[in-house]
Amino acid sequence: MERKSRWQTLYLQRRDRYYAALMFSAKASSLLIARVSVHGDRLEGIIDPCGWLRLAEALISVQTVTVSVDLDLIRRGQVIAADGHIEVLGEVRCERCMGAMPLRLSVTVHSGLAEQESAVLALDSTLEAVIAENGVVAQQAWLEDEVLLALPMIPRCAEWKSGICPVSGLDPLTVVK
């Protein structure tokens, strides 16, 4: 009988935990919170943001946007704790020169998913409550909300002072009184 070293045992335990975790697709329209395990699961993947109509209004073009999701989901009683990041690459309109400027967002997610807000607040008041009506989270609406809240309110080219914008190459708009 072969005796395993401490490191081999630790490796096998971590491997088993990794493969035991469910992988939920970020493309799904909803997330059934009853399916998330106590040991932890993952919500990850690339999302096609063409269905995110509110985000499409805020950006120049939703066709050129890349959204990737990487969240850990852990059941803590009646609440699912969701922690991780949403990465967004795209273009937004500069409010100074009205030209296209690159947008790179890394949205930190620290949410609690539950059927009642009181359950989330009782567990951890720092979690942002996401209500799961009848145990189901409207996943795409939730993820889009997270991205929309992270967008700059008045996007501006950071390097621009006056004259031609170094990012877009455009002259700023002139206001005539």
Q: Count how many domains the chain has.
A: 1
Read off the amino acid at residue 77: G
- The verdict on residue 82 lying in a domain is yes
CA 124/CA 61 separation, integer angstroms = 38
- The verdict on residue 164 lying in a domain is no
Higher-pLDDT residue of 6, 163: 6
> How does pLDDT run across 15-40, given as a tens digit for each residue?
555 544 567 888 899 999 999 988 88
Confidence of residue 14 (pLDDT cuts 50, 70, 90): low
- The verdict on residue 175 lying in a domain is no
> Residues 48, 53, 57, CA angle at the centre, nearest 5°?
115
Return the minimum-mean-pLDDT range out of 19-23, 50-54, 103-107, 151-155: 19-23
CA 54/CA 122 separation, integer angstroms = 32
User: Domain limits at 58?
Assistant: 22-150
Assigned token pair, 163: 């004259």
CA 40/CA 20 separation, integer angstroms = 9
Alpha carbon distance, N-terminus to C-terminus of the chain? 90
- The verdict on residue 139 lying in a domain is yes
- The candidate with the shortest Cα–Cα distance to 142, out of 133, 155, 152, is 133
- The verdict on residue 145 lying in a domain is yes
- The verdict on residue 75 lying in a domain is yes
Return the minimum-mean-pLDDT range out of 73-77, 91-95, 171-175: 171-175
- The candidate with the shortest Cα–Cα distance to 108, out of 140, 86, 90, is 86
Per-residue pLDDT, averaged over 36-50, amounts to: 88
> How does pLDDT run across 91-126, given as a tens digit for each residue?
888 887 777 788 888 999 999 999 999 999 999 999
- The verdict on residue 5 lying in a domain is no
CA distances from 40 to 3, 103, 126, 170 (A): 30, 32, 20, 49
